[in-house]
Amino acid sequence: MTRSRARYLSYIPLVLLSFFYLLPIYVMVLTGLKSLDEVSIKTMWDFPRQLSMANFAVAFDELRPYLWNSIKLVIPSSILSSILGSLNGYVLAKWKFKGADIVFPLILFGMFIPYQSILIPLVDFMHKINLYGGIPGLMLVHIIYGIPITTLTFRNYYASIPNELVEAAKIDGAGMFNIYRNILLPISIPSFVVVLIWQFTQAWNDFLFSVVLTSSRNWTVTVGLNNLAGGQIIAWNVQMAASFIAALPTLLVYIFLGKYFIRGMMAGSLKG
Amino acid sequence: MQNKKERLQAFFMVLPSILAVAIFIYGFIGWTVRVSFTSWKGMIPDYTWVGLQNYINLLTNDPRFQVDVRNTLLFTIPFVFGTLIIGLISALLLDQGLKGETFFRSLFLFPMAISYIVTGVAWRWLMNPATGARMSGLNLLFSKIGLDFLNSSYTATPEWGMAYIAIPAIWQLSGYCMALYLAGLRAIPDEIREAARVDGANEFQIFRTIILPLLRPVTLSALIILGHMSLKTFDLIIAIAGKSYALDMPSIYMWNTTFDGHVYGVGAAISILLLISVAILIIPYLIYSLRKEAQL
Amino acid sequence: MGHKRLMLVVALVVIATLMLSSCAKTGDKQLEVFSWWTGGGEEAGLNAMIKIWEEKYPDIEFVNAAVAGGAGSNAKAVLATRLSAGDPPDSWQGHAGQELIGTYVAAGQLEPLDDLYKENGWYDVFPATLIPLISKDGHPYSVPVNIHRANVLWYNPAVLAQYNVDPPDPTSFDSWIATMDALKAAGMEAPLSLGEAWTQKHLFETILLATVGPDTYTKLWNGEADWGSADVTKAIENFGLILTYVNPDYASLSWQDASKLVADGDAAFNVMGDWAEGYFRVDLGLELGTGFDWMPVPGTKGSYQFLSDSFVLPVGAKHRDAAIKWLTLCGSKEGQDAFNPLKGSIPARNDADVSLYSEYLQAAMADWKVDTIVGSLAHGVVANDTWSNDISTALGQYLTDKDNAALQAALVNLCKTDGPCK
């Protein structure tokens, strides 16, 4: 029964790896539970003298408006961006127009640009089209810079679906859009999950676009979090508590939907 | 064959995306290229043409850029290989259908959900290099559990400090790599393994001669994704190293030159060099994978 | 069909959130003030001024657009992108001196404030030595709200007593070195604590001042003294010498961490601006004289190396009248006495209510009146952004190779490419 003993032994590295993955979160939560005079790098592993959720309450109060902005941004932008990606992917996989084979790699390459380098023309352009300062403008930017990854994911998924299915529908007289809606869309759920999670995380964690493209009342949670740490003197306990709160939504998404994410990847998406 | 009207319709459906990409990606890159050929310095736009001067200075006469190139390599190699290896090992461990697989999978995957703006400080504390009475972070933890030999001075290590920045980067992406490999492993039909077992191959031989070659496309994609991420690394360095010269990277240099120093011409040239190095990595891969797909 | 209903729900969610996100209110009567004061004493100080604003001008909404600077210097990036798009905030915070003059005034982005200075009598209440430093061609371009001192040596008296050494003589750099040698000989590994990149630059500027003296120091920055001189060579040697006394993990510490080392007795000294006083006294609850103490960085006694936060009037401010009201408040006695005790700095005006300030700040106010005023490099007074940033790079390189000649050659060259040297 060596194989079953090997299976048993597999838990050792898995548990060690789990410690590695949890360590920074543990530090954040532990520090978040301490009072300011107990916070010091030297004593970072010590348990707090008494557990107090006060820092989390303070942090939540500070972050509340920003959290709300993030929610208003992230939900529509990830949904719109998946729909757009799905339509693009459909066309590029099943309705290749002339030049589609050039357009697709050109779109894809957009995934790889370093965003810091295009900030100045971006802000200038958003001013010109009058979308600077608000959440809709930021949403547009997230959707546009999401086009490469969302298109890729859906295109690869649709490419794996037999052409016969589409051809048969065409013979039955179905139009392009109807084929999408009635045949491909219903089986695209795995890819939608992958793209939604991906775009949700991207937009939630984004700092750069939010800080340069929105005015102060529309800042998202990462900007709020960064501002908390911006004083000359930083209250690390509140900062760590706030970090944990800011990470919570994405954390929950991954913990609860992580298995669909992997399932979606197995279904042919994100194969690159 | 598709009729003309429908094909046109299809084209119009992607046209907005094409236009958006044309402006927001290629248009802005074009603007940056243009600025990189100028001597723009200070707050007033100055489009005085200096040709390749900024590039030549950076490549031949700028010690900081040389440090950046060295640091990029020093970071990329351990990061990419560490992530691939940990990702592969955890995928292999989980592929056995163990109890609690879902739990471990989610746990390994979650770091990619969190940005360094959130975990940066925790990592800086963990990798604190102080010794003696001031010892803390991972070093203190290791000492407490009797693993002193693991102690290190992390990013403060002379010459090699940059390599330690790979630790949090591996932390963030090895779970993603695990997911890629796991997807790849699950796509391998069991019959192939069974057939090999019947032929008397042991598990290690099966892994080396059958599974590893079949995973090669996954490895390639992961390599490309991780490689370009490492070239673009920005938040992580800012969170952990601030603006330390010893831990500088091209993306930090670009930001620093553009926004702290207002030397826009040079900042743009650094961006373009960064973009070119990403392109060198990505374009052959894009061509390769699209060709291969066309052959199928 | 199930997915039809799903589509409907999705569409509704999208529409609802889109509507929510687009109904932000935008008032005409408002004032947008941009700063990097998002936490600690500076946020408290700013809030105190906002409170006065709201009492005075209840109908003009104060929009506080503060972005934390942070190591990524986000605030400056936001400002730079907004200025390049022609959308300046109504007023913004900048370090008084060349950071504003050599960067934004040089680009014609700020309005001169001569009239405001005259109307409010500021020429009489701001020190005569300060006005030239915030002016170009005789026109003042910013309203300073506070003054900080950069050349302060913080020390832990208990540690010195424990090792049985006397505090150094503030007039002598060498006595400081002798003290640290004594501490090292007695077994203290790193008597001087140091932090990340900007704190290294901060240390460098104080050593430069201590070595070359206030006259030459000022002349170096306006192009009248030679960066290739033996004085500067000596200053670089001194800086190199000082670096042999610091903690090896400096790069991973913030200034706060470095100050904490002194408070905890892990180091005896730290060179930091006088915002550290608030940290020692308020945040760590230490007593001046027993828990911590201060003196000018040895060799700089009689010089006040200052930096000042100030506000400006951009060309093309959308709410110019409100911005002028704001600047008037910033320069007023009321505004400065509300802001400074909380921020932990002294007011730029010389007629402030001394009783509002802590013991240290009162001493600083006394020094400010009699000392020779020189500007800080790390905090924007003496060099424009480009020059200052390039010096950071040169210092960063020096920390990795300790090549004195290369640093001096770089400094000589940078004064030519970025500064006033010919």
- What are the tens digits of pLDDT across the range A48-57? 888 888 999 9
> Which chain A residues are within 8 Å of C80, Cβ to Cβ?
120
What is the pLDDT confidence band of residue A272, given thresholds at 50, 70 and 90? very low
What is the C-alpha to C-alpha distance for residues B38 and B45, in angstroms, rounded to an integer? 10
What residue type is assigned to position B49 of the chain?
A: W
Strands C309-311 and C135-136: unpaired
In a mutational test of the B interface, the residue from C393, C398, C418 whose CB has the highest number of chain B CBs within 10 Å is: C393
* Nearest C-alpha neighbor of C69 from the set C255, C323, C274: C255
Q: Do A28 and B119 touch (CB under 8 A)?
A: yes
Contact indicator for C297, C242 with CB cutoff of 8 Å: no
CATH number of B71-261: 1.10.3720.10
| Option in B156, B257, B260 nearest C252 (CB) | B156
Q: Do C252 and B248 touch (CB under 8 A)?
A: no
| Option in A126, A218, A226 nearest C68 (CB) | A226
Q: Do A135 and C22 touch (CB under 8 A)?
A: yes
pLDDT at C334: 95
Which residues make Cβ contacts (< 8 Å) with residue A205, sequence separation at least 6?
A222, A250, B113, B114, B115, B117, B118
pLDDT at C15: 66
What is the C-alpha to C-alpha distance for residues B149 and B139, in angstroms, rounded to an integer? 9
Domain boundaries, chain B: 23-61+263-296, 71-261
pLDDT at C1: 41
CATH superfamily of the domain spanning C32-148+307-375: Periplasmic binding protein-like II (3.40.190.10)
Q: Give the per-residue SS3 of C173-242.
A: HHHHHHHHHHHHHCCCCCCEECCCHHHHHHHHHHHHHHHHHHHHHHHHHHCCCCCCCHHHHHHHHHHHHH
With 50 as the cut, is the pLDDT of residue B290 above it?
Answer: yes
What is the C-alpha to C-alpha distance for residues C257 and C267, in angstroms, rounded to an integer? 11
For B208-249, what is each residue's pLDDT tens digit? 988 999 898 889 888 988 998 899 888 888 888 878 899 999
Domain boundaries, chain A: 1-52, 59-266
Q: Can you read off the two tokens belonging to residue B117?
A: 């703006």
> If you ran DSSP here, which 8-state letter would residue A133 be given?
B
Residues lower than pLDDT 70 in chain C:
1-27, 69-73
Residue A243, min C-alpha distance to chain C (Å) = 15
What is the C-alpha to C-alpha distance for residues A225 and A208, in angstroms, rounded to an integer? 13
pLDDT at C6: 60
With 50 as the cut, is the pLDDT of residue A1 above it?
Answer: no
Burial of C121 (0-12, 13-18, 19+ CB in 10 A): exposed
A149, B233, B243, C296, C321 from B224: Cα distances, Å: 14, 14, 27, 55, 55
The whole-chain average pLDDT of chain B stands at 89
Which residues make Cβ contacts (< 8 Å) with residue C30, sequence separation at least 6?
C60, C61, C62, C63, C319, C322
With 60 as the cut, is the pLDDT of residue A179 above it?
Answer: yes
Q: Do C13 and A231 touch (CB under 8 A)?
A: no
CATH topology of domain A59-266: MetI-like fold (1.10.3720)
- Chain C neighbours (≥3 Cβ pairs under 8 A) are A, B
For chains A and B, count residue pairs whose Cβ atoms are closer than 8 Å.
Answer: 245
Percentage of chain A modeled with pLDDT above 90: 48
With 80 as the cut, is the pLDDT of residue A234 above it?
Answer: no
> Which chain A residues are within 8 Å of B23, Cβ to Cβ?
125
CATH topology of domain C152-305+380-417: D-Maltodextrin-Binding Protein; domain 2 (3.40.190)
Residue C386, min C-alpha distance to chain B (Å) = 4
Phi, psi angles (nearest 5°) of residue C136: -130, 130
Q: Residue C63, SS3? A: strand
| Option in A91, A222, A244 nearest B14 (CB) | A91
With 80 as the cut, is the pLDDT of residue B85 above it?
Answer: yes
How many Å separate Cα B68 from the centre of its chain? 16
For B140-198, what is each residue's pLDDT tens digit? 889 888 888 888 888 888 888 899 999 999 999 999 999 999 988 988 888 888 898 88
* CB neighbour burial string for C40-79, b if at least 16 within 10 angstroms, e if fewer: bbbbbbbebbbeebeeebeebbbbbbbbbbbbbbbbbbbb
Q: Identify the top-confidence range among A119-133, A205-219, C139-153, C279-293.
A: C139-153
| Option in B128, B242, B263 nearest C197 (CB) | B242
Residues of chain C with CATH 3.40.190.10: 32-148+307-375, 152-305+380-417
> In which region does residue B188 sit, left (phi positive, over 0), alpha (psi from -120 to 50) or beta (all else)?
beta
Residue C295: enclosing H or E segment and its boundaries? strand C293-296
pLDDT at B294: 73
Percentage of chain B modeled with pLDDT above 90: 46
Helical residues (DSSP H) of A160-220, grouped into ranges: 163-171, 176-179, 189-205, 208-213
With 50 as the cut, is the pLDDT of residue A151 above it?
Answer: yes
